[in-house]
Structure 1
């Protein structure tokens, strides 16, 4: 089997299974494990996958900074934000994660509805400057890449809240590896907010599907529902729907 053929088959396995186990692939191809590991090293150098102990995982592309992300898929994000805002009931407390997609929820909140919005993101709080909702901004060390508070102080403040709904933002979603993000402390804060909340819903633009970032947040089945673009193909959503039957298309 030629090297290019092996690499194509390895990518097929990665897309199908969400991971590549070097020993298993070597057995399936009747080749040495060293040969497969060499292929994986070369493919990782080409940016085709992420090497991990014993094999490989899908790679999530580097995320641009917060300012640059404002203009990415803005129309789709507005639809997702409107769909999320429609889930909110009067007098609820909601927690908005940081990010440009969750900012659209703030922009679509009804002005005639009594509610409380908690967030650890100063940019999300600023979106609500002229909105009549009660706003709770938790403090902590500012992680500037995502413009959210992280660390022990943020964790302690969030522990005092019991939101009805948490709208979670992540950088990647995968049926095997779940929902993930790129920073260890940010992932810990997201998990903590979810534990404090009655329900967690995650907003996902199409480019985040079938990828894995370094720091796991939650499994697909651990959230109450996914909010996704209406144009996503049904076959691409099927592995996620098998894990979580509550998918809202917007």
Structure 2
């Protein structure tokens, strides 16, 4: 089997089963594990999969920059944002992550709702300028341009000043075994700090993020309390997240 044929087969298996196990695939194709691992490394370098111990998982398309992500699963993100916005109660202090799904959340906040939104995302803050009832607290730091959010030591210090009722977390991947992941190490640190300063963490996950993995782990899945997914998400997909103790809301 030629290299391109092997790679195409690997990607087909990944699409069909949601994972590739190097040992199993090497036995099926009568090839060495080294050959399969080399193919996996090269495919990972092209951004076509995420390598994990023993094989690979789907790479999340949500690793694109902010403008690129705006075109991914737009209807699903609107529905998820609407459902998440409905969870906020008057008077609460709420952490809102950066990202395109979070933008949909703040766009769907009822005009009469009064609460405090704490965010490290300038995009989120700007969306709330015209909202009459929202107090907006900005977390400052170095701007990570890829995701348009603040990161770094000063952001961590700012987060420590708050105790939020809810944190709405954006991720680029959520996998039952790997956990909650993102594409940048500093973003992972910020998200972890926000979660640990909130009473409840709710993950916003459009369809392309479910079952996918990115290089940096934020938290194990069981450290988040809730998950908001698209209404059309298959029950067998959701079952693994419920098993981890998450309350799953279909948007």
Deviation at 1:207, TM superposition (A): 1.0
Which residue does 1:140 correspond to in 2?
Answer: 141
1:219 aligns with 2:220: yes
Which residue does 2:242 correspond to in 1?
Answer: 241
1:112 aligns with 2:112: yes
Deviation at 1:80, TM superposition (A): 0.8
SS at 1:118 equivalent = strand
Q: Which runs of no fewer than 5 residues in structure 2 stay unpaired?
A: none
Query: Which is further off, 184-193 or 38-47?
Result: 38-47
SS at 1:190 equivalent = helix
Alignment RMSD (CA, Å): 2.9
Q: What do residues 70-117 of structure 1 show as CA deviations (whole Å, max 9, x unaligned)?
A: 343222212111111111111110010001111111111122222111
Answer yes or no: is the 8 Å Cα contact 1:173–1:209 preserved in 2: yes
Instruction: Give me the whole-angstrom Cα distance separating, in 1, the residues matched to 2:28 and 2:11.
Output: 11
Query: Which is further off, 39-48 or 79-88?
Result: 39-48
SS at 1:126 equivalent = helix
Q: TM-score, normalised by structure 2?
A: 0.85
Deviation at 1:246, TM superposition (A): 0.7
Which residue does 1:175 correspond to in 2?
Answer: 176
Deviation at 1:182, TM superposition (A): 0.6
Query: Which is further off, 104-113 or 8-17?
Result: 8-17
Q: What do residues 48-77 of structure 1 show as CA deviations (whole Å, max 9, x unaligned)?
A: 534456544432346332223334322221
Which residue does 1:156 correspond to in 2?
Answer: 157
Instruction: Give me the whole-angstrom Cα distance separating, in 2, the residues matched to 1:183 and 1:6.
Output: 26
Q: What do residues 144-163 of structure 1 show as CA deviations (whole Å, max 9, x unaligned)?
A: 11111000000000100001
Query: Which is further off, 74-83 or 162-171?
Result: 74-83
Q: TM-score, normalised by structure 1?
A: 0.85
Deviation at 1:242, TM superposition (A): 1.9
The 5 Å alignment of 1:42-191 reads 44=44, 48-51=48-51, 55-61=55-61, 63-131=63-131, 132-191=133-192
Instruction: Give me the whole-angstrom Cα distance separating, in 2, the residues matched to 1:158 and 1:144.
Output: 20
Instruction: Give me the whole-angstrom Cα distance separating, in 2, the residues matched to 1:182 and 1:238.
Output: 25
Count of residue pairs the alignment pairs up:
249
Deviation at 1:230, TM superposition (A): 0.2
Answer yes or no: is the 8 Å Cα contact 2:18–2:58 preserved in 1: no
Deviation at 1:218, TM superposition (A): 1.6
Classify 1:245/1:61 alpha carbon distance in 2 versus 1 (closer, same or farther; 3 Å).
closer
Answer yes or no: is the 8 Å Cα contact 2:14–2:57 preserved in 1: no
Classify 1:113/1:43 alpha carbon distance in 2 versus 1 (closer, same or farther; 3 Å).
closer
Instruction: Give me the whole-angstrom Cα distance separating, in 1, the residues matched to 2:71 and 2:32.
Output: 47
Q: Which runs of no fewer than 5 residues in structure 1 stay unpaired?
A: none
Q: What do residues 108-167 of structure 1 show as CA deviations (whole Å, max 9, x unaligned)?
A: 112222211110111100011011211101110000111110000000001000010000
